């Protein structure tokens, strides 16, 4: 069999070339389809958005630039609403009617600047929103004016913000020269100029370069304008390449507050230093945070020990070692007592009197402070307690002297209240006024006397005498008890409007009274 080898070679070569050409064509078509990532052409003009609900499916390059320039924060739908809502009144309400109408057209508000046209269409469940600027489109058909206007609006807002900001802002180059400043800085710089002098380039420096040269993030500086009060500013710098961006925030209020706080603390410190009451303040960790000099004298502790900020229990242990705390029977009971002290002081209920072995007496109070702190106050009341004991002893001595008298005594205050009686009075009238009478007034006692004696105007006059104010003269009378005994009564005014009522039996001790049904008679004992 004869084979034409030349023909076969050409047929095979032709097949290979055809296969390579088909492969190249397929790759070219696939690459072209991959380069087109948008349903809009990359060079498409206009501002067109395609949404599926609130999900952005596609947008023209100008529309994407508009979304990037929007001041809203969030997804594309939120950014678009932030841009359209101020310019198209009732846009959201009209958009809610789109499913029923299918297509809406709106024009921007009159106060929105340049007139804009908005067209929204519902196509196959997708929302297509188109923005038109007829004047700009006619003027520059190849340029997306909406995106440019959005960026220009944002730039204008930033400029207006910096111009109206009450904060001083400026930029410095690497050499420290002021190359830019906002309006607040310029106004402050103009106050430092001489009369008739104007601002020139480069702008004058009004703050020292300490923050710039040292690279400090923040510091406080003082300005003293000519003819004006001093001003304080907090400076903050941010590096920008070789230069820096600096901010100066007014700090007058902060300086005044700090000065007032410092003065108050100095006054408080001086007050604590001269306070005779020992003060110990423990923080929330129960470490000594503050104490005054009086605590050194009252506690007997050394300054170096207190300056090491001991804990509450270490402080109380040291006082116990110095015998400045009442000694309990056992140490465990003392610890429980100190734990109860801390709990009671936190609720503000702790107040006790400590009688020390040395004879001194302390009044110890515990009070809660903010943030879990605790304050203990130690007051030496030894003199007060001695005076109280002496006064109590004098009262007891005076009562003993009055009880030794054989004459019944009752003393009334200026208001007619019973102040004191003696043993002879209780024996004569058969009662203890302090224990048996709820009302210790003269009226109640006169009623008691009247009930235990024969009828007599004496008690009415006695009640009137005790209740009378002003100058009074002593007087007396007699009363016959129900058992027939005769009592001599006398009423004497005392200092301060008080009144003394004295009662004495008129019969000798060796007589016995016998009461008859009608008349009381006296019979001598054999």
Per-residue three-class SS string for 29-74: HHHHHHHCCCCCCCCCCCEEEEEECCEEEEECHHHHHHHHHCCCCC
Is the pLDDT reported for residue 277 higher than 80?
A: yes
Would you say residue 47 has pLDDT above 90? no
* pLDDT confidence band for 245 (50 / 70 / 90): confident
Mean pLDDT, residues 131-143? 57
**pLDDT given at position 478:** 92
Distance between CA 76 and CA 84 in Å, rounded? 12
Tell me: do 141 and 178 sit in the same domain. Answer: no
Q: Are residues 483 and 416 in the same domain?
A: yes
Q: Is residue 2 part of a domain?
A: no
Q: Which residue did the predictor score with more confidence, 145 or 455?
A: 455
**pLDDT confidence of residue 490:** 93
Length of the chain: 526
- For residue 2, pLDDT over 90 is answered with no
In this structure, is residue 311 part of a structural domain?
A: yes
Distance (Å, rounded) from C-alpha 487 to C-alpha 41? 132
| Of the residues 156, 175, 199, the one at which a domain ends | 156
- Roughly how many angstroms between the first and final C-alpha of the chain, as a whole number? 193
What is the CATH classification number for the domain harbouring 218?
Answer: 3.30.450
- When mean pLDDT is compared over 9-13, 167-171, 434-438, the highest value belongs to 167-171
Do 61 and 138 belong to one domain?
yes
Q: Is the pLDDT of residue 100 over 70?
A: yes
pLDDT at 493 over 60: yes
Residue 144: burial class (beta carbons within 10 Å; 0-12, 13-18, 19+): buried
Give the position of tokens 């230093």.
273
Pairing of strands 168-172, 178-181: antiparallel
- Can you tell me the mean pLDDT for 133-151? 56
Sequence-distant contacts of 356-364: CB under 8 A, at least 24 apart? 356/323, 356/324, 356/325, 356/326, 357/323, 357/327, 358/323, 361/385, 362/298, 362/324
CB 235 within 8 A of CB 246: yes
How far is 490 from 467, CA to CA, in rounded Å? 16
Q: Look up the domain containing 215 and give its range.
A: 165-254
The answer to whether the CB of 50 falls within 8 A of the CB of 38 is no
- Domain total for the chain? 4
Question: Contact, 178 vs 203, CB < 8 A?
Answer: yes
**Same domain? 141 vs 246:** no
Burial-class residue 47 by CB neighbours within 10 Å (0-12, 13-18, 19+). Answer: buried
Mean pLDDT along residues 99-127: 80
pLDDT at 396: 85
When the pLDDT of each residue in the chain is averaged and rounded to a whole number, the result is 76
pLDDT on residue 147 = 58
Looking at the fold, whether 305 and 371 belong to one and the same domain comes out as yes
Same domain, 413 and 512: yes
CA–CA separation, 474 and 500 (whole Å): 9
């Amino acid at each position: 069999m004869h084979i034409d080898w030349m023909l076969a070679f050409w047929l095979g070569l032709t097949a290979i070339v055809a296969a390579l050409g088909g492969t190249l064509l397929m790759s070219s078509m696939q690459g072209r389809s991959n380069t087109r990532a948008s349903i809009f052409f990359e060079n498409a003009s206009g501002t067109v958005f395609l949404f599926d609900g609130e999900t952005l499916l596609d947008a023209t390059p100008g529309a994407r630039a508009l979304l990037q320039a929007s001041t809203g924060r969030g997804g594309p739908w939120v950014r678009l609403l932030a841009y359209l809502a101020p310019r198209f009144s009732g846009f959201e309400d009209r958009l809610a009617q789109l499913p029923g109408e299918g297509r809406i057209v709106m024009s921007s508000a009159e106060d929105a600047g340049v007139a804009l046209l908005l067209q929204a269409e519902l196509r196959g469940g997708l929302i297509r929103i188109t923005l038109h600027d007829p004047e700009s489109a006619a003027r520059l058909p190849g340029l997306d004016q909406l995106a440019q206007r959005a960026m220009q609006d944002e730039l204008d807002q930033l400029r207006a913000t910096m111009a109206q900001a009450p904060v001083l802002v400026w930029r410095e180059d690497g050499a420290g020269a002021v190359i830019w400043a906002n309006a607040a800085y310029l106004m402050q710089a103009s106050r430092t100029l001489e009369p008739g002098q104007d601002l020139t380039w480069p702008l004058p420096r009004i703050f020292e370069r300490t923050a710039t040269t040292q690279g400090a993030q923040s510091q406080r500086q003082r300005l003293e304008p000519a003819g004006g009060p001093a001003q304080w500013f907090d400076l903050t710098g941010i590096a920008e390449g070789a230069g820096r961006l600096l901010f100066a925030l007014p700090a007058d209020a902060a300086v005044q507050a700090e000065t007032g706080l410092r003065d108050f603390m100095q006054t408080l410190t001086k007050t604590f230093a001269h306070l005779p009451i020992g003060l110990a303040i423990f923080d929330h960790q129960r470490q000594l945070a503050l104490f005054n000099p009086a605590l050194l004298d009252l506690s007997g502790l050394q300054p170096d020990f207190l300056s090491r900020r001991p804990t509450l229990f270490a402080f109380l242990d040291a006082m116990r070692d110095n015998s400045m705390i009442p000694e309990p029977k056992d140490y465990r009971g003392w610890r429980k007592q100190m734990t109860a002290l801390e709990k009671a002081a936190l609720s503000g209920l702790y107040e006790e009197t400590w009688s020390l072995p040395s004879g001194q007496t302390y009044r110890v109070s515990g009070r809660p402070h903010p943030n879990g702190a605790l304050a203990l106050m130690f007051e030496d009341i030894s003199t007060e307690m001695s005076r109280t004991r002496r006064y109590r002893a004098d009262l007891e001595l005076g009562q003993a002297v009055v009880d030794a008298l054989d004459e019944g005594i009752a003393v009334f205050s200026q208001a007619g209240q019973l102040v004191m009686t003696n043993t002879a009075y209780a024996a004569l009238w058969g009662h203890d006024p302090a224990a048996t009478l709820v009302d210790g007034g003269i009226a109640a006692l006169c009623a008691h006397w009247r009930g235990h004696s024969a009828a007599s105007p004496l008690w009415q006059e006695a009640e009137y005498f005790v209740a009378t104010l002003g100058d009074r003269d002593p007087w007396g009378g007699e009363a016959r008890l129900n058992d027939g005994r005769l009592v001599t009564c006398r009423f004497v005014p005392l200092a301060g409007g008080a009144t003394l009522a004295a009662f004495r039996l008129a019969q000798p001790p060796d007589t016995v009274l016998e009461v008859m049904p009608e008349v009381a008679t006296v019979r001598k004992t054999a």
